[in-house]
Amino acid sequence: MSPYISMIGAGWLGFPLAKTLINENCKVFATTTKEEKRDHLLALGIKAEILIFDNFFLEKEFTLPSETEILIITLPPSLGKQVNLEHYKAILAHILEQTVKIKRLRKILFTSSTSVYGNAMGILTEEREIQPQTNQEKILAETEDFLKQKSEDYDLFILRLGGLVGPGREPAHFFKNKKDLPGGEIQVNLVHQTDVIEIIKKIIMNDIPQGIYNITADEHPARGLFYPQRAKERGMEEPTFIWGSEPERYVSNEKVKKVTGYTLVYPDPLFF
Q: Report yes or no: 25 and 3 within 8 Å, Cβ to Cβ.
A: no
Judged by DSSP in three states, 112 sits in: strand
More confident: 75 or 57: 75
Beta carbons of 188 and 220 less than 8 angstroms apart: yes
Rounded to 5°, angle at Cα 227 from 224 and 228? 80
Give CA–CA dist 13/166, Å, rounded. 10
Per-residue pLDDT tens for 74-99? 987 766 455 566 678 888 888 888 88
- Residue 101, φ and ψ in degrees, nearest 5: -90, -5
- Going by C-alpha positions, the residue among 161, 200, 172 that lies closest to residue 272 is 172
Residues 46 and 22: beta-carbon distance below 8 Å: yes
* CA 122 – CA 125 distance, rounded (Å): 9
pLDDT of residue 81: 54
Mean pLDDT in the chain?
92
In tens, the pLDDT along 171-223 reads: 999 999 899 999 999 999 999 999 999 999 999 999 999 999 999 999 999 99
pLDDT number for residue 84:
62
What's the rounded Cα separation, in Å, for the pair 231 and 3? Answer: 42
Q: What is the pLDDT of residue 107?
A: 97
pTM: 0.94
Q: Are 249 and 186 in contact (CB under 8 A)?
A: yes
* Of 149 and 123, more confident: 123
Measured distance CA(215)–CA(265) in Å, rounded: 13
How large is the average pLDDT for residues 114-142?
A: 93
- Closest to 2 in 3D by CA, of 30, 29, 24: 24
Q: Strand ranges (DSSP E) for the chain?
A: 4-8, 27-32, 47-50, 70-73, 107-113, 122-124, 155-161, 163-165, 181-182, 190-192, 211-215, 241-242, 249-251
pLDDT of residue 83: 57
Distance in angstroms (rounded) separating the CA atoms of residues 259 and 176: 38
Q: Band the pLDDT of 225: cuts 50, 70, 90.
A: very high
Burial degree of 131 (CB within 10 A; 0-12, 13-18, 19+): middle
Contact indicator for 192, 266 with CB cutoff of 8 Å: yes
Distance CA 138, CA 77 (A): 10
Rounded-to-integer distance, Cα 229 and Cα 272, Å: 12
